[in-house]
Amino acid sequence: DITSTGTTLRMNRLEVVDEVLASSVRLFARPEVADDPKIRQVKTALRSVLDAEGKRYLMMNVPEDALDDVEDVIPGMGGPTVMDVAGTDAVAVHVVVDEREVFEVVPELQAAGASDILVTEIERLVP
């Protein structure tokens, strides 16, 4: 958490000088209980956190007549979610993208007509 965004490090004028530990997550169980619903539930919970790493959730408002242009820019997972914005001729577009694509995609979305763009971290991602 301290180094995930670097904010805490910058606030305290610190920098990472060495990686002390790299770890991985493992789930152990006896073979006869490996398919137990509780084991599957824990596995799903752990996997969802790992799958969320490196992903960002983008939300934006888009005029309906610019939707095709915005969809051409979005690389998302299985296409964006599009919802009407009450009382307007705009839609809300939600999409999951790789974190490394955010800085490139946001200006392209703006150029395509998107506004009010929010970028948030994802705690869990269950495909």
Could you tell me if residue 85 is inside a domain? Answer: yes
Domain that holds residue 98: 54-121
CATH of residue 90's domain is: 3.30.70.120
Alpha helices in the chain (DSSP H): 7-11, 37-52, 67-73, 102-112
pLDDT of residue 100: 94
SS3 state of residue 60: strand
Question: Using an 8 Å Cβ cutoff, are 56 and 119 in contact?
Answer: yes
Whether 116 shows a pLDDT value over 70: the answer reads yes
Q: Are residues 58 and 116 in the same domain?
A: yes
Q: For strands 90-98 and 55-63, give the pairing.
A: antiparallel
pLDDT tens by residue, 70-101: 999 986 677 899 999 999 999 999 999 999 99
Q: Are residues 18 and 44 in the same domain?
A: yes
What pTM does this model have? 0.73
Phi, psi of 55 (to 5 degrees): -115, 150
